[in-house]
Amino acid sequence: MDALSDILSLLKPASYMFRGIDAGGDWAVRFEAHRGMKCFAILSGQVWLAVDGVGEVLLKQGDCVLLPRGYGSRIGSAPEVPARDAWTVFPAVAEGGVVTINDGGDAIGLGGFFAFDNFHADMLMKLLPPIVHICEEADRAALRGAIERIMLELRTPQPGGFLVAQHLAHLMLLLALRIVLAKGPDGGIGWIYPLGDRQLGAAMNALHGDPARKWTIQSLADVAAMSRSTFALRFRARVGESPIDYLTRWRMLLAAERLLGSRDTIAVIAPSLGYDSDSAFSTAFKRVMGCAPRDYARQKATAS
């Protein structure tokens, strides 16, 4: 499995609350901050999007935007229009429906939300840009089919339509992330950027393919066909941490998933992730996750 598929598989993105909007006149809707990733796509017309603490962007026909960090946001016909709370606009429309504002006609869009079935999704999502704006025609064309089909499923419900929309939403998310990594870092730092680099991507895929291996910077550099020093510097510049720190973090996320979702003991998990002793594994787990592995599942169960 490649690294992007591996990461998304761990996060288990579940799309829900996808609804269409057909708006006219002066209007604006406010969405409060919450964990997860928001998504907006514009099928016709244009809308203004404002993201708390980040800024404003004009979304035109065909544009798609992801908000990976769950910041509060608003969309509307103009930045100065007073916004209504989303919960006052959408309750009358069932999930998978289309809401009409002011008789509609000026802008048609699709909005949704991806939740992640992983307590530490924020650890990965915060390393994506706060706004992923997909606006170039070639990129919009790659997403157009999925977006238009989702909207069709919302407007004309058919048997199995909810599941079709769910799968298309996941496809849209994956295609959008592909576009992000294809564009390169553009000053950004995070786990996704090396995946678009042929050499760093090879090392990332190897690391994800065999996380238990006794990887060293040199062995990863060999996979990337780079010198040790160049590989280490470029990896840190793109990801924001060293290759070994990234490997440790990924191992602990895998361990956390197994502690919650299986009956595997520390004695089983530790060697399967490359640790020679329970104590070495436990030390690494506590450093990354903030608590001992024996306490982890109990704390998460209490917090649920």
What is the distance between the alpha carbons of residues 295 and 144, in angstroms, rounded to a whole number? Answer: 46
> Is residue 285 domain-resident?
yes
What's the CA gap between 222 and 216, in Å, rounded? 10
Q: Residues 134, 256: one domain?
A: no
* Same domain (yes/no): 161, 212: no
Residue 170 and residue 24 in one domain = yes
Q: Do residue 62 and residue 169 come from a single domain? A: yes
Q: pLDDT class for 93, splitting at 50, 70, 90?
A: low
| Secondary structure (DSSP) of the chain | --HHHHHHHHH-EEEEEEEEEEE-SS-EEEE---SSEEEEEEEESEEEEEETTTEEEEEETT-EEEETT---EEEESSTTSPPEEHHHHSTTS-TT-EEEETT--SEEEEEEEEEESSTTHHHHHTTS-S-EEE-SHHHHHHHHHHHHHHHHHHHS--TTHHHHHHHHHHHHHHHHHHHHHHH--TT--STTGGGGSHHHHHHHHHHHH-TTS---HHHHHHHHTS-HHHHHHHHHHHHSS-HHHHHHHHHHHHHHHHHHHS---HHHHHHHTT-SSHHHHHHHHHHHHSS-HHHHHHHHHHH-
* Cβ pair 179, 134 in contact under 8 A: yes
The pLDDT value given to residue 303: 54
Domain of residue 99, CATH code: 2.60.120.280
State how far the Cα of 52 lies from the Cα of 49, in Å rounded to an integer. 10
* Residue 11 and residue 135 in one domain: yes
Mean pLDDT value across residues 28-46:
89
Per the structure, the complete domain to which residue 62 belongs is given by: 3-183
Indicate if 226 and 148 belong to the same structural domain. no
Apex 36 CA angle, 265 and 264, nearest 5: 5
CA distance 233 to 237: 6
**Which pLDDT score, from 0 to 100, does residue 95 have?**
59
CA 147 vs CA 31, 158, 171: distances in Å: 21, 17, 10
Please state the domain count of the chain: 2
> How many Å apart are CA 74 and CA 79, to the nearest integer?
9
Computed over every residue of the chain, the mean pLDDT equals 86
Residue range 197-229, pLDDT digits in tens = 889 999 999 999 999 999 999 999 999 999 999
Residue 14 lies in a domain: yes
Does one domain contain both 25 and 81? yes
Mark whether 167 and 283 lie in a shared domain. Answer: no
pLDDT at residue 34, as a whole number:
80
- CA dist 255 and 275 (Å) reads 12
pLDDT digit string, tens, across residues 100-126: 999 999 999 988 888 776 666 776 677
Distance CA 143, CA 150 (A): 11
| 238 and 213, same domain (yes or no) | yes
User: Given the DSSP bridges, would you call strands 98-101 and 13-23 parallel, antiparallel or unpaired?
Assistant: parallel
Asked if residue 74 and residue 201 are part of one domain, the reply reads no
- 12 & 70 share domain: yes
Which pLDDT value is given to residue 9?
82
**Residues 49, 143 share a domain:** yes
Q: What is the CATH number of the domain that holds 205?
A: 1.10.10.60
In a domain, 188, yes or no: no
Tokens 């969309």 appear where?
Answer: 75
Residue 56 reports pLDDT greater than 80: yes
- pTM, entire model: 0.73
Residue range 61-70: mean pLDDT, rounded: 88
Does residue 164 or residue 72 have the better pLDDT?
Answer: 72
